[in-house]
Amino acid sequence: MTSQTVPAAASGTWVLGDLTVNRMGFGAMRLTGSAAFHDGTPSDRGRAIAVLRRAVELGVDHIDTAAFYFSRLRSANELINSALAPYADDLVISTKVGPARDACGGWAESARPEELRGQVEENLRQLGRDHLDVVNFRVMGQESISEHFGALSELRDAGLVRHLGISNARPEHLAQAEAIAPVVCVQNRYGLDAPDRTGMLHACAEHGIAFVPFFSIAGEGREAGALRGEHDEVRTVARAHGASPAQVRLAWILGQGSHVLAIPGTGNPDHLADNVAAGALRLTRDELQLLDSIGRSAS
């Protein structure tokens, strides 16, 4: 399918609290390099900045990032700041807190509730903003997130954060968070071959909350990107539409409900345009059912 002039608005819109965004967004993690976090080939700075600017030109108004998205030479937040500041009024930047990394890139213990303010302030500093549009608390194995979410709620009341969400979460985490403050989104791993075993897709629909899948294209490749051979079902649907397998995967994600937002990431300008164009790809009921069979076999 033609991709160069398809705008992100073709995907439709959703409202995060009081912020309207196109359902096709952009994930900034892969801008930092081939290994996304520390080792590996550094990304080309100029190319990464060009990708971000092109994303906004195509109508992407929801960018997902985090202060812990950095590699040896690149920081996703710094790239966003350099490329897009001063920010357009309608650009929504979502970030995450909870995980902690040292300066060498090693992972540390998850942040304690009292340390979350420092993580929020680090995102503010790197992005060059006086508030964060959406902050997601990334669950790192905690049974209860009430104290952590309570700390973020206080930062929301103080004006440092506009809206709150959760990531890598289960339904009980959503209930704990909603008892403290409104939740506008849930970010969980989900895709054609990564079924929603927690039921969060449907729980979010029932609560009117955005469901924001990550690794929806990469699958088992995760931070490194897609590493698998593609399923025959995906190739069949792709041929029928003159689309790429990645576009089919994104169209399937968006087809799971009007509350589902996509945040595919890439450092390649051509892949960016293809991803955004997937927001205009409409799959038939039969095609959706065919693709659903992949998830059933993976369960």
| pLDDT for position 5 | 80
Q: Pick the catalytic residue from 14, 26, 68, 69.
A: 69
Residue 224's pLDDT band (cuts 50, 70, 90): very low
What is the band of 222 on the pLDDT scale with cuts at 50, 70, 90?
A: very low
Q: What pLDDT, in 10s, does the model give residues 115-130? A: 999 999 999 999 999 9
Question: Residue ranges of the domains in the chain?
Answer: 20-298
Residue 206: its pLDDT value, please? 96
Residue 190 has pLDDT above 70, yes or no: yes
**CATH classification code of 20-298:** 3.20.20.100
Confidence (pTM) = 0.93
Q: How confident is the model at residue 278 (pLDDT cuts 50, 70, 90)?
A: very high
pLDDT at 109: 78
Average pLDDT over residues 236-246: 97
Residue pair 293/233 in contact by the 8 Å Cβ criterion: yes
Rounded to the nearest 10°, the torsion over CA 243, 246, 252, 256 is -150
The pLDDT of residue 215: 84
Query: Where do the DSSP E strands lie in the chain?
Result: 13-16, 19-22, 26-27, 62-64, 92-97, 100-101, 107-108, 132-138, 161-167, 183-189, 210-214
Q: What is the structure's pLDDT at 3?
A: 54
Is a pLDDT exceeding 50 seen at residue 286? yes
pLDDT of residue 296: 77
Is 69 an active-site residue? Answer: yes
Strand order in the sheet with 92-97: 26-27, 62-64, 92-97, 132-138, 161-167, 183-189, 210-214
Give how far Cα 127 sits from Cα of 84, 217, 221, Å.
10, 26, 28
DSSP secondary structure letter of residue 33: B
Q: What's 210's DSSP letter?
A: E
Per-residue pLDDT for 36 more than 60? Answer: no
User: Using one digit for the tens of pLDDT, what is the confidence trace for 141-155?
Assistant: 999 999 999 999 999
